[in-house]
Amino acid sequence: MATPVLDKVEAEAKAAAYITVTFRVRRFNPEVSAESTWEDFQLEIDPKERVLDGLHKIKWDLDGTLTFRRSCAHGICGSDAMRINGKNRLACKTLIKDINPEKPITIEPIKGLTVLKDLVVDMEPFFQAYRDVMPFLITKDTNEPTRERLQSAEDRERFDDTTKCILCAACTSSCPVFWNDGQYFGPAAIVNAHRFIFDSRDQAGEQRLEILNDKDGVWRCRTTFNCTDACPRGIEVTKAIQEVKRALITRRF
């Protein structure tokens, strides 16, 4: 079969698959107005494309002022968490066909963090909580990286789930306790503490547990499961938080 024919068939199939969707985007520009507003954009797009592709279409072809974060575009860097149709997701992992494109698709910045412009929020409080749990390997006897630190497969399995975190903030910004009081560590910081607390090679688990025993630590969690629902990596966030609570209780009794 000659290649041009195939191209034509593909092109026709592609054109036929295009649909018109409306993206209703929450716009905010502090240089223009203190209020944020909804703006609609009409797009011709393949429904099997992702919301991020739609945002690219807007930024590149319709309105270059639209501001959002993205880097990898493949669910790895964690920069494009946003509230799409009322639910926190990664724009680069959400297919348009999965979120009812017959109606306008609403796209807002994640909640609980100050909006800087359009879909970009100030992540500093989020990363401060992350830094506060000391998310790095701490060893007391041998600090020099002289040899590999060995670990059994079972020991590795113990914290496997929480190693998957990409720090997108979808969980923390879906948590009602965090919405009400940003002093709470938030699920993401606890997930990343969990990753080291249950690592057999790490020796500062006790210290991290003490940090999370804080007034604004794990005890503020109300088990609403919003974080588990939001996590684009499928991490069982609420379970990780409960495991930290259990470790704190069994440490005492």
Closer CB to ligand SF4, 92 or 191, in the complex: 191
8 A C-beta contact, residue 199 and residue 159: yes
For 148, residues 6+ apart whose C-beta sits below 8 A from its C-beta are none
3-state secondary structure of 226: helix
CA distances 6 to 2, 3, 12, 16, 240, Å, are 7, 5, 10, 15, 51
8 A C-beta contact, residue 45 and residue 19: yes
Closer CB to another protein, 66 or 175, in the complex: 175
The size of the interface with ligand FES (CB under 6 A), counted in residues, is 12
3-state secondary structure of 22: strand
Distance separating alpha carbons of residues 17 and 14, to the nearest angstrom: 5
User: Which of ligand FES, another protein, ligand HEM, none interacts with 90 (beta carbon under 5 to 8 A by kind)?
Assistant: ligand FES
- The token pair at 57 is 């279409």
User: Which of ligand HEM, another protein, ligand SF4, none interacts with 241 (beta carbon under 5 to 8 A by kind)?
Assistant: none
Closer CB to ligand SF4, 27 or 208, in the complex: 208
x/- string (CB under 6 A) for ligand SF4, residues 143-182?
Answer: ----------------------xxxxxxx-----------
Closer CB to ligand FES, 43 or 167, in the complex: 167
> What's the DSSP call for residue 2?
-
x/- string (CB under 6 A) for ligand FES, residues 85-114?
Answer: -----x-x----------------------
The size of the interface with ligand HEM (CB under 6 A), counted in residues, is 2
One-character DSSP codes across 131-164: HHT--S---SS--S--S-----HHHHHHTTGGGG
Q: Which of 106, 203, 207, 242 binds another protein (CB under 8 A)?
A: 106
Closer CB to ligand SF4, 78 or 125, in the complex: 78
Q: Which of 36, 73, 106, 229 binds ligand FES (CB under 6 A)?
A: 73
Distance separating alpha carbons of residues 31 and 45, to the nearest angstrom: 31
Is residue 241 part of the contact set for ligand SF4 (CB under 6 A)?
no
205-212 and 237-252 are packed helices; what angle lies between their axes, rounded to 10 degrees? 100
Distance separating alpha carbons of residues 86 and 97, to the nearest angstrom: 16
x/- string (CB under 6 A) for ligand HEM, residues 198-237?
Answer: ------------------------xx--------------
User: Which of ligand FES, another protein, ligand SF4, none interacts with 231 (beta carbon under 5 to 8 A by kind)?
Assistant: ligand SF4
Give contact residues for ligand HEM (rule: CB under 6 A). Answer: 222-223
Give contact residues for ligand FES (rule: CB under 6 A). Answer: 70-73, 75-80, 90, 92
